[in-house]
Amino acid sequence: MGRILAIDFGKKRVGLAVTDPMQIIANKLTTVATPEIWTFLKDYFAKEQVDKVIVGYPLQMNNQPSEAVVYINPFLKQFQKEFPSMPLEQVDERFTSKMAFQTMIEAGLKKKDRQNKATIDAVSATIILQSYLEQQKYR
């Protein structure tokens, strides 16, 4: 069994999280500058067995795509072109940045660490992935 990789795509940075090989627990992986994501993914897929990739897809409260899809849709198309055999799934990412910030407060991170956008992006990817895993339990 391989891992599930979660991507929190952004204009400047991409937060990444991954499951353990048994797909039980989500762990923060890293944050990569957006222009470097393709090199990172190619290297990661060469080293690790990944069964599926999930991408946070921003929706508004009325379930319509948010304005951020202008950046995410081209990424999704390019991903399918670069990795045509890799299963790709989009998941609702509403509120994950706020949840990530709150999680960092509850974990006792100092204010300076909470202001690090890269940390927020990686924690957001972890929350997206953990939520996905929990939803899968009930299907």
pLDDT of the chain, 139 residues: tens digit per residue: 899 999 999 889 999 999 999 999 999 999 999 999 999 999 999 999 999 999 988 766 676 666 777 888 999 999 999 999 999 999 876 555 555 556 555 656 566 654 556 667 777 888 889 888 888 877 6
CATH of the domain at 109: 3.30.420.140
Beta-carbon contacts of 49 under 8 Å, excluding residues fewer than 6 positions away, are 2, 3, 21
pTM of the predicted structure, to 2 decimals: 0.83
Which structural domain, as residue segments, surrounds residue 106? 3-137
- Rounded CA-CA distance 114/58 in Å is 22
| Number of structural domains found in the chain | 1
